[in-house]
């Protein structure tokens, strides 16, 4: 199954290190990050899961729940979590799905035969409260994820969902944003952006971040 941006994230019921999970029910009205790992006791993934645990407060501020996936069973996850807590000086505070039957992996197209026909690739999905997939990134096995970028994308998505703006290259929370080209009415522009805007070109108008 191929998943594209805007699709409803497939629902599932699966065991995890935190018990049985019905995915859509577990998400509730939160944003979600679902990210996969080839196997337990892998070095790059150990650092990633540890860093994710350390971002608990940052995720909470953004109403985000994190959930990981590996094809190994729950018993293996529990032992791996002990290693993660020890080596990364943290405590894993989110579930790791035990996808031994590949049910979730098949739903989310996480088995890429040309990479490995038995282990999942390292993909990450951002899912909004309406259960729509808003971002998909697939990393090579040798490259750890940039979770600062994941937080940046969530900030951008949450901002642009609520205001008629987009975020430019390398945008960080608090930087100027771009007014969407479809918004042309001057009265509406003044109402929406009382701090004004700077028109670099008719289609490129910059304004201070409106929720700041």
Residues 82 and 76: beta-carbon distance below 8 Å: no
Residues 3 and 133: beta-carbon distance below 8 Å: yes
Active site residue 45: yes
Report d(CA 185, CA 135) in Å as an integer. Answer: 31
The order of strands in the sheet holding 64-70 is 96-98, 64-70, 31-36, 122-127, 133-139
Q: Which of 21, 34, 45, 55 is catalytic?
A: 45
Long-range CB contacts (< 8 A, 24+ apart) of 108-117? 108/1, 108/3, 108/10, 108/34, 108/36, 109/1, 109/2, 109/3, 110/36, 110/69, 115/141, 116/38
**Catalytic residue ranges:** 45
């Amino acid at each position: 199954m191929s998943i594209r941006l805007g699709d409803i994230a497939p629902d599932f019921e699966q065991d995890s290190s935190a018990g049985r999970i019905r995915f859509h029910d577990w998400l509730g009205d939160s944003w979600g990050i679902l990210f996969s790992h080839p196997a337990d006791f892998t070095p790059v993934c150990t650092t990633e899961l540890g860093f994710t645990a350390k971002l608990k407060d940052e995720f909470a501020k953004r109403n985000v729940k994190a959930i990981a996936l590996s094809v190994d069973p729950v018993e293996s996850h529990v032992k791996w979590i002990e290693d993660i807590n020890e080596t990364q000086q943290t405590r894993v505070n989110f579930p790791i799905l035990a996808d031994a039957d590949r049910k979730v992996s098949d739903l989310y197209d996480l088995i890429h035969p040309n990479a490995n026909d038995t282990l999942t690739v390292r993909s990450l999905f951002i899912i909004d409260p309406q259960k729509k997939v808003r971002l998909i990134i697939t990393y090579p096995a040798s490259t750890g994820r940039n979770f600062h970028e994941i937080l940046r994308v969530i900030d951008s998505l949450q901002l642009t969902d609520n205001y008629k703006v987009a975020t430019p290259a390398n945008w960080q929370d608090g930087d100027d944003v771009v007014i969407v080209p479809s918004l042309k009415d001057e009265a509406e522009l003044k109402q929406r952006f009382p701090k004004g805007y700077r028109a670099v070109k008719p289609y490129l108008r910059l304004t201070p971040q409106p929720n700041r």
